[in-house]
Amino acid sequence: MRVWTLLKVYSFLVYTFMFAPIAVVLLLAFNNSQFGGFPIEGFSLRWFVKLYENEAIIRAFRTSMSLGVLTALISTTIGVLASLALVRYQFRGKDFITTFLISPVLVPETVLAVGVLIFLRWLSMPRSFLLLLVGHSIIALPFVVLVVQARLVGIKREYEEAARSLGANPVQTFFQITLPLLMPAVFAGALFAFTISFDNITATIFWRPAGMETVPTQIFGMLRNSISPEINALGFVMIVITVGVPVMAGGLARYFSRKKT
Amino acid sequence: MAESKEFDPRPWYLLAPSMLAIIALVVIPMSFILVYSFYENIDLAIDRVAFQFGNWQELLTDSYYHTAIWKTLRLSIIVTVLAAVLGYIPAYFIAMTKYRHKWLLLLLLILPFWVSFIIRTLSWIHIMGNQGAINGILMWLGLTDTPVSMMFNEFAVIVGFIHVFLPYMILNIYVSLEGIDENLEPAARTLGATPWQAFREVTLPLSLPGLAAGSLLVFVLTGGSYVTPLILGGPGDFLFGNLIYDAVVVELNWPMGATLSFTLLVLLGLVVALYSRLMGMNQLSKAFG
């Protein structure tokens, strides 16, 4: 059918629009040229070496990694607890609480960042790594709640009730029945939180203490002059981490679940 | 039934950490923004506790701020409409295709969420910049000797925004198209509708909730940004968020920063409220299911 072919071509073009720029960054990371753009002057790994020798970037990378991991830890922990309450218990005002838990998403990040800073200023507290950590956690929390909640609804209560009737106490039931069943969702939520933190720039620019850079703010600072080829190499590394890790995790999860059955 | 009458504290223990965090980091800071907007700015980073309307008066009378509001509204609408036009067809295609590896198309749709925002944004300099791919091709073809200037203007900002927010739009439309009973369109056809009529009168109206949810997300996300114009725009391409950035980071004028932040919160809040009045908030969380 002719119309269908048109739709196909259109969709293909939109996909191209979404991926061509990313592909270009991946390609230019290996360009031997002095400059960050075209033309391509041959294959080289020297920008990766330069990247590895750039202390500022390595430091920013370390900051981003620890920030991401700790953010994932905090937001997943409190997010899972909140999701359990929402799915497993009946109580008054549930709809309101659900909206309340999602509310950090509804506030524009720029506004959230300024608000937290002003509150901090009133408390006469300086900006710190801790501020970035709690700030990123609150930004990630709604996404963790949404992901975990969606999964939790699908876990039958009967398993938990069976464990209880066999004599397990609520804590035992949670750690031996609910949590193992919930693990994929916990993992997905944690990965999501890590990526949100690792990628955040809007709020981070406001919250970082003087002299501290995360990878995105470091790149942002480097853009002031022109695109150095190191940024392309850094882009390559970041894409491999943020895309590679979840895809690998998904693959591993599938591998292990296949092994069990 | 007797049990439900008693107050059960257990869910509240579970909710407490999240709720306390949101109260401390969202609710209280938002009230502080309002309070601070009445403070008086004296000098760089110095302000005085006061209850005066100087900041609000400046906001209401200075046309610089009105321009920024207008620019933000205009750009958000342009980005939302273009994202809807660009996104609807791929979403329709993915929902309707009988292709065996449909999951791959969906995975590719989610993949950009995992690619760094700043990398995706700056990548457009590689495409449209003076040393970018388009100019490279044009010069190689001999169509032009000097690079054509395409970057650091409003167009580049729009392209950057669409590139980053399009997956939200496609995903939301897809979710609502996927939920439509697939017999409906053939049924309309049997009753004599042309394919276009069947689409326009059956499928399109049923997919409106997804289209609306996607549009809301794109509109609000665009309206609240400031980083994309800094990277891809020229000096004249600023959004309301950039004024906040300037006030807080550059001028260290906290009371004005608070006033502008509260204004942005209210303006975008009105859009969200209007949406939730018309559509309810359920559709928004569906894309995560």
Alpha-carbon span A204 to A136, nearest angstrom? 8
Tokens describing residue A156 = 């039958």
Q: What confidence score (pLDDT) does residue B156 get? A: 93
Alpha-carbon span A40 to B117, nearest angstrom? 25
Tens of pLDDT, residue by residue over B76-107, are 999 999 999 999 999 999 888 887 778 888 88
Q: In terms of residue numbers, what domain contains A70? A: 58-260
Domain assignment present for A208? yes
Q: Is the dihedral of CA B196, B201, B202, B207 positive or negative?
A: positive
Work out the minimum CA distance from A252 to partner chain B, whole angstroms.
Answer: 17
Q: H or E element: which one contains B40? A: strand B40-43
Mean pLDDT, residues B114-122 taken together: 89
Tens of pLDDT, residue by residue over B202-237, are 888 888 989 999 999 999 999 999 999 999 988 888
**A-B Cβ pairs (cutoff 8 Å, strict):** 244
Helices assigned H by DSSP within chain B: 2-5, 10-22, 28-36, 54-61, 63-96, 102-114, 117-128, 133-140, 154-178, 184-190, 195-198, 204-223, 227-232, 240-245, 254-279, 282-286
Instruction: Please report residues of A whose CB lies closer than 8 A to that of B37.
Output: none
pLDDT mean across residues, chain A: 87
> What contacts B266, CB < 8 A, 6 or more positions away?
none
Mean pLDDT, residues B182-191 taken together: 85
Is residue A76 pLDDT above 90, yes or no?
A: yes
Taking CB atoms and an 8 Å limit, are A81 and B86 in contact across chains?
Answer: no
Q: What confidence score (pLDDT) does residue B5 get? A: 57
Domain assignment present for A93? yes
Domain assignment present for A48? no
Instruction: Please report residues of A whose CB lies closer than 8 A to that of B30.
Output: 107, 111, 115
Tell me the HSE value of B4 on the side-chain side, using a 13 A CA sphere: 5
Q: What confidence score (pLDDT) does residue B225 get? A: 93
Q: Which of B47, B72, B96 is nearest to B253 (CA)?
A: B47
Q: Which of A203, A201, A112, A134 is nearest to B33 (CA)?
A: A112
Q: How sure is the predictor about A1, in pLDDT bands with cuts at 50, 70 and 90? A: low
Mean pLDDT, residues A96-120 taken together: 91
> Within a 10 A sphere around the Cβ of A145, how many other Cβ atoms?
27
Alpha-carbon span B267 to A120, nearest angstrom? 25
Domain assignment present for A52? no
Tokens describing residue A146 = 């949404």
Q: Which residue of B lies nearest to A204 if distances are taken between CA atoms? A: B227
Q: What confidence score (pLDDT) does residue B247 get? A: 92
Q: What confidence score (pLDDT) does residue B268 get? A: 93
Tokens describing residue A124 = 């006469």
Q: What confidence score (pLDDT) does residue A74 get? A: 97
Domain assignment present for A45? no
Q: How sure is the predictor about B2, in pLDDT bands with cuts at 50, 70 and 90? A: very low
Residue type (1 letter), B11 = P
Tens of pLDDT, residue by residue over A27-39, are 888 887 777 677 7
Greater pLDDT, A34 or B53? B53
> Residue B8 to residues A3, A20, B13, B251: CA-CA distances in angstroms?
59, 55, 10, 51
Helices assigned H by DSSP within A128-228: 129-152, 157-165, 170-173, 179-199, 202-207, 215-222
pLDDT mean across residues, chain B: 88
The answer to whether the peptide bond before residue A39 is cis (omega within 30 degrees of 0) is: yes
ipTM above 0.90, yes or no: no
Q: Which of A92, A185, A198 is nearest to A144 (CA)?
A: A185
Q: How sure is the predictor about B149, in pLDDT bands with cuts at 50, 70 and 90? A: confident
Domain assignment present for A25? no
Contact in structure between B84 and B213 (CB atoms under 8 Å): no
Greater pLDDT, A259 or B251? B251
- Tell which A residues from 147 to 186 touch B, by Cβ distance under 8 Å: 147, 150
Burial of A168 (0-12, 13-18, 19+ CB in 10 A): middle
Q: Which of A110, A206, A232 to mutate against chain B (most B CBs within 10 Å)?
A: A110
Taking CB atoms and an 8 Å limit, are A227 and B126 in contact across chains?
Answer: yes
Q: What confidence score (pLDDT) does residue A142 get? A: 93
Domain assignment present for A237? yes
Q: What confidence score (pLDDT) does residue A261 get? A: 47
Alpha-carbon span A65 to A116, nearest angstrom? 23
Is residue B289 pLDDT above 70, yes or no?
A: no
Q: What confidence score (pLDDT) does residue B190 get? A: 87
Percent residues over pLDDT 90 in chain A: 37
Percent residues over pLDDT 90 in chain B: 46
Work out the minimum CA distance from B32 to partner chain A, whole angstroms.
Answer: 6
Q: What confidence score (pLDDT) does residue B287 get? A: 62
Domain assignment present for A81? yes
Instruction: Please report residues of A whose CB lies closer than 8 A to that of B127.
Output: 20-21, 24
- Please state the domain count of chain A: 1
Is residue B25 pLDDT above 80, yes or no?
A: yes
Tokens describing residue B139 = 């010069």
Alpha-carbon span A104 to B29, nearest angstrom? 12
Q: Which of A255, A4, A115 is nearest to B98 (CA)?
A: A4
Q: How sure is the predictor about B26, in pLDDT bands with cuts at 50, 70 and 90? A: very high
Alpha-carbon span B289 to B176, nearest angstrom? 12
Bridge partner residues of A31 (DSSP)? A43
Instruction: Please report residues of A whose CB lies closer than 8 A to that of B225.
Output: 110, 202
Q: Please, what are the domains in chain B? A: 2-286 (1.10.3720.10)
* Rg for chain B, CA atoms, rounded: 24
Greater pLDDT, B130 or A127? A127
CATH classification at residue A93? 1.10.3720.10
Tell me the HSE value of B21 on the side-chain side, using a 13 A CA sphere: 26
Q: According to the per-residue pLDDT averaged within each range, which of A14-23, A119-128, A133-142 is highest? A: A133-142
Greater pLDDT, B289 or B197? B197
Is residue A20 pLDDT above 80, yes or no?
A: yes
Greater pLDDT, A62 or B286? A62
Alpha-carbon span B243 to B229, nearest angstrom? 12
Tokens describing residue A41 = 């002057």
- Tell which A residues from 69 to 128 touch B, by Cβ distance under 8 Å: 77-79, 81-82, 84-86, 88-91, 97, 99-104, 106-112, 114-119, 121-122
Q: What confidence score (pLDDT) does residue B280 get? A: 74
> Within a 10 A sphere around the Cβ of A211, how many other Cβ atoms?
6
Taking CB atoms and an 8 Å limit, are A81 and B17 in contact across chains?
Answer: yes
Tens of pLDDT, residue by residue over A197-233, are 999 999 999 999 988 999 999 999 888 766 788 888 9
Tens of pLDDT, residue by residue over B123-135, are 998 888 888 888 8
